[in-house]
Amino acid sequence: MKKRPTSKNNIDRIAPSYEKNLAQMKLLVSDPDFQRIVADVRKFFGLPLGGFDADKEQEKIQEWWGKIYERSNEMQNSQHFRDLLGDIREKETSGKIDVAMAQKYRDLLFDKLPEIRLTNVVRRIIAENKLPLNYEDAIRTYIISNDPIAPPFPFSITSSAPENPGFDPRKSVSFEAYAELTDDDFKSLRKQMNIWSAGRLPKSPQPLKDIDARLMAERLVRNRKRTASTGESYTMTAQEIIETVENEFGVRLTTEQVNSVAREMENLRKKRFKNKSVK
């Protein structure tokens, strides 16, 4: 029986960059300076010296996160915290400190919240070790569980979520790159973008062949009545429309195309632009 591929192997096939990023993480965790920083962080946040065992201690990890969130909420909702925040706001409003200084004081105040402090510590580690920004989750996971994981891609993908999908046209899928992309990375990006786009974005429109010629033919068909230089009125024939369009765009339509062009273009606009889900 063929061996079922592991989750890791699945990641390998999806993202050739995974092994490269994982090797980077393994090299980083072998650095004594990095280990000293991790030890200090674990001590500060009440984590085991060697981190939790991710395979056997998931309940303990969840319990630890619960305490972090609870302590952060308690501090943020305390009167003391609110007074300090109000004092910063009052000094900013009165002009005693400028906007930049007020924001600096707010950042320092919020950094006292355990949840925010952990995020800031992780980001400082990333900056000090010249790592791409998408290593944030990998560093945080290692601090908590001593498990050297790595981001599978050198990019991230997000999609918009409009409040009224039937009306709001601002549907989009975007990505952020955190390092120079290789040819393999671009292949992974295209695959992931297609996965994220499915059901979220409209399909790419099919090419419209000879659109300028067809639009001109439609205008002529809808305005066939003309006035000659003699002042007499006349109606353009299909042959005259064909010749006029050909002289302008080098595209020769058939009589059948001319006769059906108005209905065809109207149906095309309805198909492409009319959103029946909008009430």
Q: Say yes or no: 65 and 178 in one domain.
A: no
Q: Say yes or no: 15 and 57 in one domain.
A: yes
Check residue 120 and give its pLDDT.
Answer: 95
The span from the CA of 137 to the CA of 178, in Å, is: 14
User: What pTM was estimated for this model as a whole?
Assistant: 0.69
**Residue 38 near residue 142 (C-beta atoms within 8 A):** yes
Burial class (CB in 10 A: 0-12, 13-18, 19+), 82: exposed
Looking at 131, 165, 197, the residue that finishes a domain is: 197
The span from the CA of 126 to the CA of 159, in Å, is: 25
204: tokens are 């790419």
Report whether pLDDT(224) > 60.
yes
pLDDT tens digits, one per residue of 167-205: 555 577 888 999 999 999 999 999 988 888 887 777 788
Assess if residue 126 is contained within a domain.
Answer: yes
Assess if residue 1 is contained within a domain.
Answer: no
pLDDT tens digits, one per residue of 101-133: 999 999 999 999 999 999 999 999 999 999 999
Q: Say yes or no: 20 and 130 in one domain.
A: yes
Report whether pLDDT(259) > 90.
yes
**Residue 134 near residue 154 (C-beta atoms within 8 A):** yes
Assess if residue 234 is contained within a domain.
Answer: yes
Check residue 10 and give its pLDDT.
Answer: 46
Q: State the DSSP code for 134.
A: G
Count CB neighbours of 114 within 10 A. Answer: 19
Looking at 134, 165, 197, the residue that finishes a domain is: 197
**Confidence tier at 82 by pLDDT (50, 70, 90):** very high
Q: Say yes or no: 56 and 166 in one domain.
A: no
Check residue 169 and give its pLDDT.
Answer: 53
Read off the amino acid at residue 242.
I
Check residue 251 and give its pLDDT.
Answer: 95
Total domain count, the chain: 3
Mean pLDDT of 229-252: 92
Give the range of the structural domain holding residue 102, as residue numbers without chain letter: 9-145
Q: State the DSSP code for 107.
A: H
Check residue 274 and give its pLDDT.
Answer: 75
Report whether pLDDT(144) > 80.
yes
Check residue 3 and give its pLDDT.
Answer: 34
Q: Say yes or no: 70 and 97 in one domain.
A: yes
Assess if residue 109 is contained within a domain.
Answer: yes
Q: Say yes or no: 160 and 141 in one domain.
A: no
Report whether pLDDT(6) > 90.
no
Q: Say yes or no: 42 and 112 in one domain.
A: yes
**Confidence tier at 166 by pLDDT (50, 70, 90):** low
Q: Say yes or no: 140 and 193 in one domain.
A: no
Closest by CA position to 251, among listed 205, 217, 208, 206? 217
Looking at 130, 165, 197, the residue that finishes a domain is: 197
Q: Say yes or no: 164 and 66 in one domain.
A: no
Assess if residue 67 is contained within a domain.
Answer: yes
Q: Say yes or no: 111 and 233 in one domain.
A: no
Mean pLDDT of the chain: 87
Q: Say yes or no: 71 and 24 in one domain.
A: yes
**Residue 71 near residue 65 (C-beta atoms within 8 A):** no
Q: State the DSSP code for 153.
A: S
Report whether pLDDT(223) > 70.
yes
Check residue 205 and give its pLDDT.
Answer: 83
The span from the CA of 220 to the CA of 210, in Å, is: 16
Assess if residue 206 is contained within a domain.
Answer: no
Q: Say yes or no: 93 and 190 in one domain.
A: no
As beta bridge partners, residue 235 has: 225
Assess if residue 215 is contained within a domain.
Answer: yes
Assess if residue 204 is contained within a domain.
Answer: no
Check residue 9 and give its pLDDT.
Answer: 44
Report whether pLDDT(164) > 90.
no
pLDDT tens digits, one per residue of 53-72: 999 999 999 999 999 999 99
The span from the CA of 245 to the CA of 217, in Å, is: 7
